[in-house]
Amino acid sequence: MSGKIFVAHDALSGLLDDLSKKFKVWIPQMMDQASGHIAFGVYAPGKKPELTRRSRLSPKKILFPSMDTLFKFTYVKDPKDPVRYTIDLKESFDNGPTLVFGARPCDTRGFQTFDQVFLKGQYKDVYYERRRQNTLFATLVCQDSDTACFCSSVGSGPADMTGSDMAVIPIEGGYVIEGLTDAGRKLVETSGSAPSPEQAAAAEQMKRNTAALKIGEDDLTGYADDLTRRFTDMDFWREQVSPCITCGVCTWVCPTCYCFSITDEASGMSGERMRSWDSCMFYLYTLEARGHNPRPTKMERYRNRVGHKFSYFPKKYDGMVSCCGCGRCIRTCPVSIDIRKVVKELKETADDRA
Amino acid sequence: MDDKTNALREHVKGIFSNLELVLGWEPGYDPLHTRPFYVRTESDIDRLTANCLSFQNLTRYLAKSMNAVDPAADGRKIGVCVKGCDSRSLVALIQEKFVSRDRVYVIGLPCRGTLDARRIRALVPDPARIRSVNAEGDELVVETDRGISRFALDRAIARKCLQCRYPNPVIHDVLIGDPVTPRLKIDAENPSVAAVEALSLEDRLLFWENQLDRCIRCFACRNACPLCVCQNHCIMETRMPKWITQYRNMNEKFMFHMIHALHLAGRCTECGECERVCPVGIPVALIKEKINAIIYEMLDYESGIDPEAVPPLLTFSPKETGI
Ligand code: SF4
Ligand code: SF4
Ligand code: SF4
Ligand code: SF4
């Protein structure tokens, strides 16, 4: 077989029904009609994937939940000597076979950043690793972009299938789904029937056309040293960041922001150690025990956000920018701070700005 | 708000030498977005805009990002642009001594309503590249790469604006443009609150559970609010004492929203910022509106109107009855 199937629009729910018997299937879906809120949710028969409008929240939580129990603990008293106790620990994993259907290329590619940090370093994050290994991505070849998208500016593009197991290619009447990895091909081949030669050709054409699109005006890679040069130019940061309300929305919606906090949530003798999302835009994020804060204002905090993605990360990981260009932070920032503009202006000199 | 950009720029040019800076708005990354703008130099003035996209309530910067209490050494003031609702927040901040009246130069902008970017996105083919947004009479004309959409302006303006009772700044040093007629009378019932109250108790609980379920605990609602002034001491974040766990469950979310609302009781000026900034579209201002309605009924008090008044929950009077 060709490793490809055709799924007509009206057969999509049937396919998802079948897949959801084997996988926990996540799809972008309309969560609230009134505010047009789209986010990734678990598929259940009757739910419709939202493949034409963008999701406001990224699929990050699928591999990196906003709250994740690392283990459970109970203090067990020694009945003979009640001041002594032992600690009973229980592993906690929630990682069955999972499929993400209908993420966009930027969404899927966002996990490349996680992979570098959570899998490829000296220490592996077992929680992330197990989920990662058990999750397949069927990614939509992205046909449209809005004014905040800039995937091509960060070394990617609307047909970039990095990290995807399957490509979902929209054509007249439905989708051609193409297996890209062994696991993806295997799943595709057991999930439907091959496209007609015309359909296969239309899908190829669609992929080519999409790959030729350039989404985003400027190349935003290669700014690592400009950030360093600008580091202490507080006038620059003041100009860029004054409107920021340090709400952290940019970090919550971002598919590549991976900062977290660890807390023990206990009551009485038992509880859980929990990892939850944290945000570098918060004052408490860098507050040190003795009261010193190396990033006391929003200027240092936003500088860190940009620096991390466009300078420190690429310096450490072979030039890879840890921003996938999804534009979510731009779309949802309450004061319309535009990370593209900030990065671009890193290069300008003081004279350009006068 | 009608376009007052030119009149605003002219006015600011005339007075800028007496001011330290002016808080205004400038165009954002596309024609549907605007960002707050600190006018620091003469040459910045031509970036200022004031129109129906001037969403943000700039008074939050006075309370949270700068010192607007102590006079400047050279006596220069901070200029701040306010719509009707924003001016009420300013009054509340003056009452609570977060801002001194004589530290600010208040540029009032009578307002016919600000647009709701989310509602507009739902009305035009999306995803679309927005090229221009123009109000023409009672109609909004949005041009995108997929053509031109026209719809009634009322379908595109913010919920708070549809029920606005104070479109004209309640305090100002100058007013740019003519006063406009309020949509609702001062003592009119809040229609959004009435709509939720019409639901049965079970449905009301379901409504809020459905809404708050989406909350991601980002706290944008808190940070945008001009009157949510605890900043880094908010119970949601402090570890000592630890009031709230890091669980993203309904209990914790509910707790947060009730605390936010109760701390704003009789203080919230219904500027709608908390609701506008919410990334997941929860109508959080509605909770505060309900509490305001209770305060109005019980204590006959409305926030942010009289700079000399003391908000009822910030004082105590033995004469208070009915509580
Ligand atoms: S979303 Fe915007 S206002 Fe909020 S922290 Fe990020 S940059 Fe600042
Ligand atoms: S920084 Fe912004 S554009 Fe880049 S990946 Fe994060 S949310 Fe997307
Ligand atoms: S609670 Fe919401 S509506 Fe009330 S003053 Fe604060 S931001 Fe404005
Ligand atoms: S802004 Fe919205 S999502 Fe964020 S904490 Fe407030 S209600 Fe929750």
* Same-domain status, B261 and B288: yes
Is the minimum distance from the CB of B216 to ligand 4 under 6 angstroms?
Answer: yes
* Number of domains present in the structure of chain B: 3
Q: Give dist(CA B48, CA B68) in Å, integer.
A: 21
Q: Give dist(CA B26, CA B51) in Å, integer.
A: 10
Give the tens place of pLDDT for each residue, A233-246. Answer: 999 999 999 999 99
Helix or strand (DSSP H, E) at A32: strand A24-32
* Same-domain status, B31 and B171: yes
Q: Give dist(CA B44, CA A347) in Å, integer.
A: 21
Q: What is the mean pLDDT of residues B178-206?
A: 95
User: What does the pLDDT read at residue B323?
Assistant: 56
Q: What is the mean pLDDT of residues A17-43?
A: 95
Of the pLDDT bands very low, low, confident and very high (cuts 50, 70, 90), residue B127 is low
Q: What is the mean pLDDT of residues A44-67?
A: 94
* Same-domain status, B31 and B86: yes
Residue A352 has pLDDT above 60, yes or no: no
Residue A34 C-alpha, separation from nearest chain B C-alpha, in angstroms: 8
User: What does the pLDDT read at residue B231?
Assistant: 84
**Containing domain of residue B209, as a range?**
189-323
State the CB neighbour count (10 A cutoff) for residue A230.
22
Portion of chain B with pLDDT greater than 70, in percent: 98
* Same-domain status, B8 and B143: no
Contacts of B294 (CB under 8 A, 6+ apart): B265
Atom 7 of ligand 2, residue of closest alpha carbon: A254
Q: What is the mean pLDDT of residues B39-57?
A: 96
Find, among B196, B174, B192, the residue nearest to B183 by Cα.
B192
Closest alpha carbon within chain A to B155: A34
Residue A10 has pLDDT above 80, yes or no: yes
Instruction: Indicate yes or no: CB of A36 within 8 angstroms of CB of B121.
Output: yes
Distances (CA, A) of A314 to A318, A323, A341, B243: 6, 10, 19, 39
User: What does the pLDDT read at residue A312?
Assistant: 96
Find, among A16, A31, A6, A26, the residue nearest to A174 by Cα.
A6
Is the minimum distance from the CB of B287 to ligand 4 under 6 angstroms?
Answer: no
Atom 4 of ligand 2, residue of closest alpha carbon: A323
Find, among A321, A307, A286, A277, the residue nearest to A67 by Cα.
A277
B22 — phi, psi (to 5°)? -125, 130
* Same-domain status, B195 and B48: no
3-class DSSP assignment, residue B9: helix
* Same-domain status, B39 and B102: yes
Find, among A273, A334, A275, A278, the residue nearest to A304 by Cα.
A278
Distances (CA, A) of B44 to A336, A352, B51: 18, 15, 17
Of the pLDDT bands very low, low, confident and very high (cuts 50, 70, 90), residue B273 is very high
* Same-domain status, B197 and B320: yes
CB-count exposure of residue B164 (10 Å: 0-12, 13-18, 19+): buried
Test the B interface: residue of A143, A236, A242 with most B CBs within 10 Å: A242
Q: Give dist(CA B297, CA B293) in Å, integer.
A: 6
Find, among A64, A26, A60, the residue nearest to A43 by Cα.
A26
Strand order in the sheet with A135-140: A4-8, A174-179, A166-171, A135-140, A98-103, A24-32, A37-42
Instruction: Indicate yes or no: CB of A57 within 8 angstroms of CB of B280.
Output: yes
Q: Give dist(CA B282, CA A35) in Å, integer.
A: 8
* Same-domain status, B141 and B243: no
Give the tens place of pLDDT for each residue, A190-209. Answer: 999 999 999 999 999 999 99
Cα torsion through B56, B61, B65, B66, rounded to 10: 150
Of the pLDDT bands very low, low, confident and very high (cuts 50, 70, 90), residue B57 is very high
Give the tens place of pLDDT for each residue, B223-265. Answer: 999 999 988 888 888 777 788 888 889 999 999 999 999 999 9
Joined tokens for residue B172: 């100002």
Q: What is the DSSP letter of A116?
A: I
Find, among B132, B146, B32, B46, the residue nearest to A330 by Cα.
B32
* Same-domain status, B233 and B316: yes
Q: Give dist(CA B68, CA B37) in Å, integer.
A: 17
Residue A82 has pLDDT above 90, yes or no: no
Joined tokens for residue B7: 């009149």
Distances (CA, A) of B73 to A293, B39, B64: 29, 19, 21
Of the pLDDT bands very low, low, confident and very high (cuts 50, 70, 90), residue A354 is very low
* Same-domain status, B179 and B101: yes
Question: Out of A47-51, A247-251, B239-243, which region has the weakest mean confidence (pLDDT)?
Answer: B239-243
Give the tens place of pLDDT for each residue, A60-80. Answer: 999 999 999 999 999 999 889
What residues are in contact with ligand 2 under a 6 Å CB criterion? A 253-256, 309, 323-329, 339
User: What does the pLDDT read at residue B292?
Assistant: 94
What ipTM describes this predicted complex? 0.93
Joined tokens for residue A315: 């310096």
User: What does the pLDDT read at residue B243?
Assistant: 85
Distances (CA, A) of A112 to A26, A115, A162, A181, A330: 19, 5, 8, 16, 21
What is the crossing angle of helices A234-241 and A339-347, to 10°? 160
Q: Which of A149, A215, A279, A323 to mutate to test the pocket of ligand 2 (most atoms within 8 A of CB)?
A: A323
Cβ atoms B266, B288 nearer than 8 A: no
Q: Give dist(CA A9, CA B261) in Å, integer.
A: 45
Distances (CA, A) of A88 to A80, A273, A274, B257: 17, 13, 16, 36
* Same-domain status, B317 and B245: yes
* Same-domain status, B98 and B198: no
Atom 5 of ligand 3, residue of closest alpha carbon: B268
Cβ atoms B62, B99 nearer than 8 A: yes
For CA atoms A140, A172, B145, B53, give the dihedral sign.
negative
Q: What is the mean pLDDT of residues A283-309?
A: 93
Find, among B168, B161, B158, B136, the residue nearest to B149 by Cα.
B136
> Domain limits of chain A?
4-353
Q: What is the mean pLDDT of residues A111-122?
A: 95
Question: Out of A48-52, A85-89, B181-185, B234-238, which region has the weakest mean confidence (pLDDT)?
Answer: B234-238
Cβ atoms A324, A253 nearer than 8 A: no
Portion of chain B with pLDDT greater than 90, in percent: 80
Q: Which of B135, B156, B177 is the last residue of a domain?
A: B156
